């Protein structure tokens, strides 16, 4: 490929890329596109595929907010931090609280029973 034709292909690829990105089909139709099977035609196919594949992604709002807070040293409230914790941490915390209450309740129950046992026992008369 000589220098002139290479420059021509470069210009064509540039124009086609711009048109594809802007979704300007009419401009694309006006461009003198190369016949199928030629090198330029194959490259234009790749440009179209790249345009459909390389799509901007958004970082999650949670990540963006947390990182900003960390960078700027902003103090987030306890409730905010708790809300940002994963769901499994929430479940574990609820289970821990329930288990705690259950433990207290069973202990109290056993204390009451023991207390009753003591009071139910006949007091030995002093000799």
CA distance 16 to 10: 10
Beta-carbon count within 10 A of 16 CB: 20
Whose Cβ is closer to other proteins: residue 52's or residue 123's? Answer: 52
Interface residue with other proteins, options 61, 72, 125, 127 (CB under 8 A): 72
Whose Cβ is closer to other proteins: residue 3's or residue 122's? Answer: 3
Q: Is 116 in the site for other proteins (CB under 8 A)?
A: no
3-class DSSP string for 26-41:
HHHHHCCCCCCCCHHH
**Site of interaction with other proteins (CB under 8 A):** 6, 9-11, 13-14, 17, 21, 39, 42-43, 46-47, 49-60, 63-64, 67-68, 70-73
């Amino acid at each position: 490929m000589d220098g002139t034709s290479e420059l021509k292909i470069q210009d064509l690829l540039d124009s086609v890329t711009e048109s594809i990105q802007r979704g300007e089909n009419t401009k694309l139709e006006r461009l003198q596109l190369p016949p199928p099977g030629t090198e330029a035609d194959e490259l234009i196919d790749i440009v179209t595929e790249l345009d459909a594949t390389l799509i901007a992604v958004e970082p999650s709002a949670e990540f963006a907010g947390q990182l900003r807070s960390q960078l700027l040293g902003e103090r987030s409230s306890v409730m905010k931090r708790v809300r940002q914790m994963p769901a499994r941490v929430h479940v574990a915390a609820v289970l821990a609280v329930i288990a705690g209450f259950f433990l207290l309740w069973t202990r109290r129950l056993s204390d009451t029973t023991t207390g009753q046992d003591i009071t139910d026992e006949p007091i030995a008369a002093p000799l």
